[in-house]
Structure 1
Amino acid sequence: AVLHEVLRFCNIVPLGIFRATSQDAVVNGYTIPKGTMVITNLYSVHFDEKYWSDPAVFSPERFLDSSGNFVRREAFLPFSLGRRHCVGEQLARMEMFLFFTT
């Protein structure tokens, strides 16, 4: 839970990788033409009050349920998501684990 909160609170990369739309798309009523560059703002997701209560406070407990079990959060995207998420995610997680436990 602590590692997840560190990754949420201290963004490795505040913006996702640039992508280009492969076809026209409509998102929330806005038309995005084919070939438009799109950037995911990971910082805004990790600090959005819609998904996180009191997002400006460091609180690993937000990743635990009432029994103390780890809970995955859909708005947790430190390595982006989808087919093209960060290829170094597993290595980064292992390195962070080793750093904090040794």
Structure 2
Amino acid sequence: MDKRILVVDDDPELRELLRGYLGGNGYAVDVAGDGAAMRQRIAAAAPDLVILDLMLPGEDGLALCRELRAATATAALPILMLTARGEDTDRIVGLEMGADDY
């Protein structure tokens, strides 16, 4: 069975770029553009990894990361923050909120 990756990003071009690259390397890839879609995808098929954008419409990636960590079903789910924000303080906050890497 392929490992499943969920890409959560509001940029449709980046979502499709990642879907193509990861899918071409043997991963099953689901995509979501916001927190509501992320929850639907996770409920439909639990991923093995979430790639999560920090800057999303509505709920930001930090809030979603915190939510995933707080829920029993997703507490151990690996989360990779993928964002254009690269300041050290952004990294520290992301990791403190529960991201596994930034």
Structure with greater strand percent: 2
Greater fraction helix: 2
Query: With structure 2 as the length reference, what TM-score do the two structures score?
Result: 0.32
